[in-house]
Amino acid sequence: MKLLVIEDEVKLAEYLRKGLTEEGYVVDVAHNGVDGLHLAMEADYDLLVLDGMLPGIDGLGLLAALRLSKQTPVLMLTARIRVKGLQGGADDYLVKPFAFSELVARIQVLLRRARPARDAEGATVLGLSDLEMDLLRRKATRAGRRLDLTAKEFTLLALLLRRQGEVLSRTEIAE
Ligand code: CA
Using the mean position of ligand 1's atoms as its centre, give its distance from the Cα of residue 11 in Å.
Answer: 11
Tell me, in angstroms, the distance from the centre of ligand 1 to residue 70's CA: 23
The span from the CA of 161 to the CA of 52, in Å, is 40
Ligand 1 centre to CA of 13 (Å) is 10
**AA identity, residue 91:** D
Q: How many CB atoms lie within 10 A of CB 97?
A: 8
Average pLDDT along the chain, 175 residues, taken 10 residues at a time:
96 97 97 96 95 91 91 88 65 92 95 62 74 83 88 84 79 70
What separation in Å is there between the alpha carbon of 54 and the centre of ligand 1?
A: 5
Q: How far is the CA of 61 from the centre of ligand 1 (A)?
A: 14
pLDDT at 16: 98
Q: Considering only CA atoms, which of 119, 109, 146 is closest in space to residue 130?
A: 146
Task: Give me the pLDDT at residue 116, please.
Answer: 47
Residue 88: DSSP 8-state: T
Looking at residue 71, what is its pLDDT? 86
Angle at 105 between CA 100 and CA 109, to 5 degrees: 150
Neighbours of ion ligand 1 (CB under 5 A): 8, 51, 53
Determine the distance separating the centroid of ligand 1 and the alpha carbon of 159, expressed in angstroms: 46
